[in-house]
Chain A
């Protein structure tokens, strides 16, 4: 058998990894089915490659086939395992994104000043005691408000970067348990399509909610604290777009493989 069917079976083999005897049996059944379908199309007058392409197209999505086989033999576990690893991965990516937004907030602070990242809304005042605390940290500040902004800017950056470090740790442990154990194999692989859809949607929503209100406020010449949410919104938009692009490219590669 030449390319389209062979490529399809190769992908099926990868996707059925971890399903044991059920997967081996399903792979043999798929190979037999495709061979029969190719023979029928060739008997109908189609060339070998075209017959293979038709057989593969009629057989359907390999991911859905593999998921169906896993679910038929594993019940609820086949749904919960990828859900668990998907949630773990999503949480890790989310925390790293928060960390990166902290670095962007640091940059914004240098470009636009602490007021841009950590400025209070109009009407916020501090007690003399709090002002004294802030001046203790920033004795060169020109006013209590400026000392507070410098203090809050540091908090925004430090807390977010700490979350990012936690996220990197979560992703590192994730990579370890997926490669070495105990969560190795295709059974624990997050479902690519749904994972991408959830990630793109969540980060896309976060981008809109974080960016639009503060961008409007900035457009009305009120820039106090705008950089805090804008930094988060920009990073969320980049994550959403990046995950979406990767998912689309992966989809296109799969499509190309079955067309070969």
Chain B
């Protein structure tokens, strides 16, 4: 998860639209089926950093009982997300190809082993 938090947060913001931190965590948990073991507080430094980089924008929400900081994706964030998503897809495809190749090699080697025996 570490190293991919930016990508996941940008993607979640694109999916759910403007949202505060807790709503993002809930959306993230639902989208991942609870697979991510993430300390919930870690998303705030990540969101602050993304905001400083201009990839998200935030403002205080006035329609809640409590003051809430609501984040949304900027145009630069959407472009960055598209690029990160493309890099991630390439990486996943490459890893899948290596694993498939290794599995094929294992099956072939086992075949040799049996014929040699």
Give the CA-CA distance A59 to B22 in the complex, in Å.
10
In the complex, number of A-B residue pairs with CB atoms less than 8 Å apart: 67
CB distance from A40 to the nearest CB of B (A): 8
- Chain A residues with Cβ below 8 Å from B39 are 58-61, 64
Chain B contact residues, majority secondary structure: helix
A46 at the interface (CB under 8 A from B): no
Q: List A52-73 residues whose CB lies under 8 Å from chain B.
A: 58-62, 64-65, 68-69, 71-73
Give the CA-CA distance A58 to B29 in the complex, in Å.
12
Give the CA-CA distance A32 to B68 in the complex, in Å.
7
Give the CA-CA distance A25 to B67 in the complex, in Å.
10
Instruction: State whether B48 touches A72 (Cβ < 8 A).
Output: yes
CB distance from B20 to the nearest CB of A (A): 7
CB distance from B47 to the nearest CB of A (A): 8
Interface residue count for B (Cβ, 8 Å)? Answer: 18
Q: List A1-41 residues whose CB lies under 8 Å from chain B.
A: 22, 25-26, 28-33, 35-37
Give the CA-CA distance A35 to B69 in the complex, in Å.
14
- Chain B residues with Cβ below 8 Å from A36 are 22
Give the CA-CA distance A69 to B43 in the complex, in Å.
10
Give the CA-CA distance A71 to B44 in the complex, in Å.
12
Instruction: State whether B45 touches A68 (Cβ < 8 A).
Output: yes
Give the CA-CA distance A72 to B42 in the complex, in Å.
11
- Chain A residues with Cβ below 8 Å from B66 are 31-32, 35
Q: List B62-116 residues whose CB lies under 8 Å from chain A.
A: 66-69
Give the CA-CA distance A68 to B42 in the complex, in Å.
8
Known contacts A33-B22, A60-B39, A64-B39: A72-B49 contact under CB 8 Å: yes
Instruction: State whether A60 touches B40 (Cβ < 8 A).
Output: yes
* Other-chain residue from B20, B21, B48 in contact with A22 (beta carbon distance below 8 A): B48
Q: List B17-60 residues whose CB lies under 8 Å from chain A.
A: 20-22, 25, 39-42, 44-46, 48-49, 52
6 contacts between A and B (CB under 8 A): A28-B69, A30-B41, A32-B67, A64-B39, A65-B45, A72-B49
Given A26-B44, A33-B44, output 8 extra A-B contacts at Cβ < 8 Å: A28-B69, A36-B22, A37-B40, A59-B39, A59-B40, A61-B39, A61-B41, A68-B46
Top 7 A-B pairs, shortest CB-CB distance: A60-B39, A68-B45, A72-B48, A72-B49, A36-B22, A65-B41, A60-B41
